[in-house]
Amino acid sequence: MNIYIVVKSILVTALLIAAFGIFTIRVRRLLRIMKSVKGQAQVKVDRLGERVKVLFTDVLGQSNVRRKLMPGLAHTLIFFGFLAVQPHSVELMINGVCPAFHAGNILPGVYGVYLFCADLLAFPVLVGLGYAIYRRVVVKPAYLTNGLDARLIILFTAVIIITFYFINAFLTIPSVGGRFDYAGYLTLSNLVKTLFNLGDLSPAGSRVGYEIAYWIHLLTILGFLVYIPGSKHLHLLAAAPNVFLKPLDRPKAMIKTDVEDEDAETFGLGKVADLNWKNVLDLYACTECGRCEELCPADMTGKPLSPKRLIDDVKLDLLDHSVQLLNGESESVAPLLRAGSPVTHDVLWSCTTCRACEDICPVNIQHLDIVLEARKHQVLMESNFPPEMQETFNNLENQSNPWGFSSDSRGDWCKDLDVPLMTDHPEADILYYVGCAGSFDDRGIQISRAMVNVLKKADVDFAILGPEERCNGDMARRAGNEYLAQMMIQQKVDILDQYKPKKILAGCPHCFNIFKNEYSQFGAGYDVVHHSEFFLELSRQNRLKPNGTKFGKLTFHDSCYLGRWNELFEAPRELLRLSGLSRDLIEMNRTKTKGLCCGAGGGRMFMEETIGKRINRERAEEIIATKAPTIAAACPFCAIMIRDGIADLNGTNVVYDIAEITDMMTV
């Protein structure tokens, strides 16, 4: 036996050195790949207290994971149980090298309490794994990755937990466990001993059984350790730092590119060498849970885009080119969009930038940074974009609106409404920024006129820019034309700086978002408010009062750029109630953070939708299913898209913007 102990000590030492050595080499290689990419990450490591709190809530507390109830609960059980077992596994490793070591001899009381807790927490891991198998074998949700990798992870974890119980069951036998009272602390392990009649074994048989369980446990853990850096469970290493570095504020700006940089060889994301280290950390952190795919409007309507697959495809491309990157040969890295690549033109341009993927991601991956930077490269460097966008870009450049109407006619929609212009009333309290849709689209004009009526009812001191107004650059920017967008933004800043408006009122969430979150990148910060917030405040001040009009049943469609991008979910709903809505809103199945995009975002309003089902039709079906005759929207693009979707289905539902409803329901 003494010879065996010596041989075991040598073998365990060698295995530990080999496994941890291989693990270290593989992790260091992943870190070197992160450092080898050329992009510049715009990451702020500020507000450290909040970031530490996020680690406790999102990582240890599993708050993001538990947003999906049953899978989240199963993952939480696995997470905490697996963590609880690890100190025991470390002790077994140390004991294998130094047989005389025993944690129970150092702090017996603390060690006993730990064993008691770990013994109880390990069993729910098996429950969680059972649910994971059930989902993959029985439920089989389309968005869930169900490959060999996932099944191996389940197998590894199950073997580790089962051998944990058998090891402890043998330790409750005095001939194996020695003088420490294992049986007094190990409730479930005692049960295992009883169920398998382990207590009836001879001392030698018990010792052999223990050693078999020990080696299976140790080899599985070390195999798991070596396997992690090359598997989907790489997120065990990358998720926590990725969560720690996540944007703490939900409002988000696109990445600004210095398009005037004469030394720049390329713009945007053309190949994986152009990623930045934070993008790479995002790729490493992906758990392939598929929650992003489940909520993606493009994927659910048959488009080739899946956020999960995109992240995985870019990661695989990165790893495929790792040799070139590590050798400093980034120029030999193949383009991201190339013949045979799963990342295609249609994948990039199917995205509506609704941000559902980022919002639901439990490890805070920033999918849109990759999508929008890749679009930017395709437009600026390759002139590769949907052909219909050429006319849109020309219209934006020449007339500062996507429809191509004369910019001088921007104020024609209100000629009969006696609306003051900023040129005549520069000291106005409110600059109402009408936007392109509100100025030129027939449906948008109806909403703009309702806006004016409400402002006049509340006696708001406001003015518009009229012929001076220009597009704010949102459309061009989301469609990848960063050069045109920055030119338009600078033109807009020059105009606004002439008046230095006290507050900008926007009726379009896209306009609201870019003013609020992105103009500061160009040294122009403005106080901007969306009309849902502004009208709500007027109602609370009794400057708008219900006139007794009743709508009956009504449902509300959340605009992506108002809701997920800027967390304004309750303001429009509360406005409808204060305006005199007779009943509570009928909420759709997909609402608020899980709301479904109308299909117009990311420049999609001006692109053909020829692949799969139209997104606005998908949304219209859900709206019709509520049996609410009226739909409230808070965005002119949403109102247009939903109206068209309902018309395609021969529905009779009527779509109003909240400005129109407020106008009809108040005095």
What strands, in cross-sheet order, belong to the sheet with 654-657? 554-556, 630-633, 654-657
pLDDT > 70: percent of the chain: 100
Residue 179 confidence (pLDDT) = 85
Q: Interior CA angle at 92 toward 91 and 94, to 5°?
A: 65
- Give me the sheet containing 528-530, strands edge to edge: 462-463, 430-433, 504-506, 528-530
The pLDDT-based confidence of 178 (bands split at 50, 70, 90) is confident
| Both structure tokens of 651 | 């529905």
The per-residue pLDDT of the chain, averaged, comes to 95
Distance from C-alpha of 128 to C-alpha of 138, rounded to nearest angstrom: 15
pLDDT reported for residue 1:
58
For the beta carbon of residue 461, count every other beta carbon within 10 angstroms. 12
Instruction: Indicate the pLDDT class of residue 552, thresholds 50, 70 and 90.
Output: confident
- Going by C-alpha positions, the residue among 579, 586, 597, 572 that lies closest to residue 657 is 572
d(CA 313, CA 307): 10
Q: What pLDDT sits at residue 506?
A: 98
Residues with Cβ < 8 Å from 113, sequence gap 6 or more? 185
How high is the pLDDT of residue 100?
Answer: 87
pLDDT tens, position by position, 592-630: 999 999 999 999 999 999 999 999 999 999 999 999 999
> HSE (CB half, 13 Å, CA atoms) of 597?
28
For CA atoms 5, 7, 8, 13, give the dihedral sign.
positive
pLDDT in tens, 480-490: 999 999 999 99
Residue 582 has pLDDT above 60, yes or no: no
pLDDT tens digits for range 516-548: 999 999 999 899 999 999 999 999 999 999 998
- Quote the tokens at residue 489: 């933004």
